[in-house]
Structure 1
Amino acid sequence: MITFVIFSCLLLSCTGQESPKINPFSPLIKPLIGGKTSFACQALSGSLPFNILWFKNGVEIKELSSTRIRTSEDVSVLMIDSISSIHSGNYSCKISNRFGSDVYSIELKVEGPPFWNEKPVNRSIKYGESASVKCSASGFPKPKISWKIFKGSWINVESSDDSVIRVDGEILSISKAHSKHSGRYGCSITNGVQPNLWTEFNIDIDGI
């Protein structure tokens, strides 16, 4: 009996025991702000049944008002309506069955104005201590961040000739806070697509 089962499997090449293989895909429609696009993820091979999931930046996608998923036996279509720059990111399709899985990823770049990830807020820093403030945004093209300080007019922090204040991209750091560091600060974010982002915040030094 065992010999017969092995022989039968060899004759049939065990075609009923195959892990899935995804057909590489790209957006079916060029992504434009305000428009629509979709991705079709299909298994080239593999044994049914399949479980098909979609992910954006590693997080599973659930159906929302602007995102729809239609899945059949061996293909799944992800549809995005009313595209905005927030839809930019890495999209992955994972097809799995009881014999294994396959994943295919593609980056969707939607040109649009920057949008906030994190706005800086008012800060109180004790005299002589250190602190940092974060100003972060996403978008495509990649946003550029500029830190400002008000000294009668807005000037770049890098031009303030203060070695205690350091700028590293989206992080503004102050070491050994001094009374001269009290004041009004600003964060400007641009990427060549209007509108730009701008926000202001206060830094107060306590214990002076």
Structure 2
Amino acid sequence: MFILTFCLFIFTKSVYSGVAPKLTRFNPEIIQPIDSSLVLNCAAYLGSHPLRFQWFKNGLIIDNQSNRYQIDTKSDFSFLRISDIQLNDSGNYSCSVINENGLDQQWSSLQVQGLMINESPVLVKLYSQNNHEQTKGSDLVLTCNVAKGSKPFRFQWFLNGVEITGSSRSSIETKDIFSLYTLRNIDSNDMGNYSCVVSNKFGFDKLWIQLTVTGLQKFYIFSKPILNEFPISEIRLSINASYILSCTISSGSTPIFFEWFKDDHKKLSSSEYKIDNYATMSSLVFESLNRNDTGSYTCNTKNVYGSDSITTKLIIQGLI
């Protein structure tokens, strides 16, 4: 039965002489995450030989010599493989087949998603609880990071509903998809509701914490450093995003020294990573995250009287 079926298939192909080609229909819309791969199959189910295939992007012929675009053509079909897909690969892809009797064409629109297109912003939920307690004299560092949404973004910081514009003790650093608010040497007058609002023309999102200031910061002699815990144990971020991981001292006598480690063993150096160290805090800055940045990050601090460390995990995703 198998032999008969096979022979019938060969006979059927052979009798299509003098027939224009027909292609199997494409999916009209394809959505792919950034850094993935895609294979488009252009298959002629009808038509006399020889058949000639051609691939186009936005009406322009695709060069088969590209490192990320590979074309494999046989007698009845042609494959287009796109590797390591990037945002600029979005577009209209079409395949045409022609013989001496006519031609046919199919096309598909590819949308590559990293940060979503035409979407309101969504902030990374960095804080596992909204009540936040710090000791008097320490530094408050708050991070507001966009997980997805359409650029450009506008960031605003508020204290008890009043917009923060900065002061001699505070600073706001904003870049692309994150904003960092730092308030130094806090005291009881700084207690209140701190919120970050990010907006674009499609909507907004908001995060907030309620700050309580307690006691005196213990920067005494014979006091080992104590670190504030990272807000959550696992942080999910979008590929190509920027992010600042901050490590701040709750108490301890100065001078205090900081070190960063990845996956508990690799010490991070300033030649490979952007590391900003201050008297009572250290920041690990990621300008453009990639999948290799996924891992556990540990901040270790020490002085002559002891040491402390905190750890969190970053998970970098192509599509959140």
Report the TM-score, using the length of structure 1 for normalisation.
0.48
Structure showing greater relative contact order (alpha-carbon pairs closer than 8 Å, 6 or more residues apart): 1
Larger gyration radius, structure 1 or structure 2? 2
